[in-house]
Structure 1
Amino acid sequence: MSLDERKLEVLRAIVQDYVATQEPVGSKALVERHHLGVSPATVRNDMAALEDEGYIHQPHTSAGRVPTNRGYRLFVDKLSRVKPLSPAERRAIEQFLVGAVDLDDVVHRSVRLLAQLTRQVAVVQYPSLSRSSVRHLELVPVSTTRIILVMIADTGRVEQRLVELPGPTPADDVTELRRLINDKLGGRRLIDTPPLVEALSDEVPQNLRPAMAVLSSVLLETLVERTEERVALAGTSNLARGTMYDFQGTLRPILEALEEQVILLKLFGEMEPSTRVLIGDENEIEDLRSTSVVSTGYGPGVTVVGGMGVLGPTRMDYPGTIATVRAVARYVGDLLAQG
């Protein structure tokens, strides 16, 4: 084993021990716990070299060392092997998610599951409307002049609006309006619908135009102009399990940052199919630079419609966390594909 390979093995051992014990790691403990095949003096020399290179550091006057953000990054990029989930873990994920009755239930079950399995803060973004297509539009009469417009997206997301019609509208006319709208918009991506919606008023029979004009304006607002994205959050109490080494300063700035939807969307809403790991200072949000974020996109098949992941201290079980986030994302994608 070359010097560099050996130093990398020492770094791997330090990261694994520190994550497991939450205590700074000394050379004696490394020699006792890991079969490194070298003397304690050699391990001490390797630790000194790793410290000089900025991969580990000595907190306070402790005799042990802890990984730096740079050390964690090298560990994630080169050293960590994603832990395969056990059959029991896979069954637990499947059973927890399979009973979900609708999209809200899927999202809330997923975020609770991620928080429980990783013991971190979990975030799941609802499927983005900008990535969705129209599955079906329903018009439900409430009275002769009021109907509820319900839009169901292919991702299971449901939006509904109460619409005041310009005058009494017979049930047969409502049925015809429903048919015309679905013929025009069914299966279309939401971002492609504005010109189609605008054309509807001109294409329908004269007697339906006043009602269609009102419906069109509500459709535009519901399908296109409504850019609000939603996220679900769970497990913030897990942050309190950290040690004095986990977070510089207090938890308050971290908790306040997690209350901002725009910050959560920035961290978890980029929706790449690959897994992304942000460690410490790599996070552009200053209040979260003592944390790490593991995130990935999810969706039916190869389509990514939302993001999910976890946030916790940089002292994180990266291999286990990455495997869990990927597995939950895959199961949620399969559920959406079935819907």
Structure 2
Amino acid sequence: MNADERRLEVLRAIVADYVSNHEPVGSKTLVERHNLGVSSATVRNDMASLEEEGYITQPHTSAGRVPTDKGYRLFVDRLSELKPLSPAERRAIKTFLEGALDLDDVLRRSVRLLAQLTRQVAVVQYPTLTRSTVRHVEVVTITPARLMLVLITNTGRVDQRVLDLGDVVTDETVSQIRHVLNSALSGERLPDASVKVAELPDQAPPELREPMTRISTALIESLVEHPEERLVLGGTANLTRNFADFPGSLRQVLEALEEQVVVLKLLAAVHSPGTITVKIGGENEAEEMRSTSVVSIGYGSDGTLLGGMGVVGPTRMDYPGTMAAVRAVATYVGEILAGR
């Protein structure tokens, strides 16, 4: 092992000890707890080099050292493998998520699961409608002059609208309307579908023009983004425990999480399903989040990105375990939404 590799081993040991014990780490403790295969004098020299290079630092009141943001960054960048979840954990995730009733339930369960597995705050973004496609439009007669429109997307989202037509329509007309809507919209991305819907009244035969005008107005509302549904958060109580030493940061982080734009920005870094992004401390754009690390990932199916999810916690977190949990939950959410 050359000197650089050995120093990286020392850094890994400091990160592991500090994450598990929340106490600054001294050279004597490292030698006792970790099989580094070198003397404490060598470990002291390595720690001095790591400190000089800005990977670890000494809190004022302690003889031990703690990792800096730069130290955590090097640690994460050099992770050769994630701590795999046990088969039992994986089975539990799958069973729990498969029991979900609909999209809302899938996302609520995902957030609860992520918060429990990582003991951090979990965030899941609703599938962005711009990337969703129309799977089917159902038209149901409630009374001869009232219809229910049900728009189902490929992400499992179901949007229902009840519509007063102001005039009686026959079953045959309803069947005609259903056919026109599905011929025009099935498989279309939602932004394109809303353009097509707007054109339908002009293209419809004269006897369908009146109901089609009302239907297209209602459907356009279903096809545009619902900003209030953008994020689901879980496990905020974990913050209180994780930031007990930094009460000032706790308040800032809570406020930033409530400001959904900040979190959406953090999740916007995800570009493709399955790719994990880790933002550590000062790498976070928002000042209020600079005492935290954010581990995020995209979820989706068949290479299509539907949304992002992740966890927010202190920079002192179990990165390999957190990254593995985030990846596992995202994989199952993608599979479940693909199968709906």
Query: Retained in 2: the 8 A contact 1:271–1:298?
Result: no
Query: Retained in 1: the 8 A contact 2:147–2:163?
Result: yes
* CA distance in 2 between partners of 1:81 and 1:63 (Å): 32
Consecutive unaligned residues of structure 1, counting only runs of 5 or more, are none
Provide the residue aligned with 2:256 in structure 1: 257
* CA distance in 1 between partners of 2:260 and 2:226 (Å): 16
Shift of 1:127: 1.4
* CA distance in 2 between partners of 1:225 and 1:322 (Å): 30
Query: Retained in 2: the 8 A contact 1:277–1:293?
Result: yes
SS, match of residue 143 in structure 2: coil
* CA distance in 2 between partners of 1:47 and 1:280 (Å): 22
What aligned pairs does 1:27-42 form with structure 2 within 5 A after superposition? 27-42=27-42
After superposition, what is the alpha-carbon deviation per residue over 1:55-112, rounded to whole angstroms, capped at 9, x for unaligned?
Answer: 1111121111110001000000014531111112111111211211211111111110
**Residue identity in the other structure for 1:285:** A
* CA distance in 2 between partners of 1:160 and 1:230 (Å): 18
Provide the residue aligned with 1:268 in structure 2: 267
* CA distance in 1 between partners of 2:226 and 2:214 (Å): 17
Query: Retained in 2: the 8 A contact 1:12–1:79?
Result: no
**Residue identity in the other structure for 1:220:** I
Matched, 1:280 2:281: yes
What aligned pairs does 1:286-325 form with structure 2 within 5 A after superposition? 286-325=287-326
Provide the residue aligned with 2:71 in structure 1: 71
Shift of 1:165: 2.1
Query: Retained in 2: the 8 A contact 1:80–1:319?
Result: no
Distance 1:29 1:225, change over 3 A: closer
Query: Retained in 2: the 8 A contact 1:136–1:186?
Result: yes
Distance 1:248 1:44, change over 3 A: farther
* Higher mean C-alpha displacement, 9-18 vs 261-270: 261-270
What aligned pairs does 1:70-89 form with structure 2 within 5 A after superposition? 70-79=70-79, 81-89=81-89
Provide the residue aligned with 2:101 in structure 1: 101
* CA distance in 1 between partners of 2:69 and 2:34 (Å): 23
**Residue identity in the other structure for 2:40:** P
Provide the residue aligned with 2:200 in structure 1: 200
**Residue identity in the other structure for 1:23:** E
TM-score by length of 1: 0.94
After superposition, what is the alpha-carbon deviation per residue over 1:203-245, rounded to whole angstroms, capped at 9, x for unaligned?
Answer: 2220110110121122223213656552111100001112555
TM-score by length of 2: 0.94
Query: Retained in 2: the 8 A contact 1:128–1:305?
Result: yes
SS, match of residue 249 in structure 1: helix
SS, match of residue 295 in structure 1: strand
Provide the residue aligned with 1:149 in structure 2: 149
* CA distance in 2 between partners of 1:243 and 1:200 (Å): 55
Query: Retained in 2: the 8 A contact 1:257–1:288?
Result: yes
Provide the residue aligned with 1:326 in structure 2: 327
* CA distance in 1 between partners of 2:46 and 2:63 (Å): 15
SS, match of residue 162 in structure 1: strand
**Residue identity in the other structure for 1:236:** T
Shift of 1:130: 0.9
* CA distance in 2 between partners of 1:116 and 1:20 (Å): 17
* CA distance in 2 between partners of 1:73 and 1:9 (Å): 14
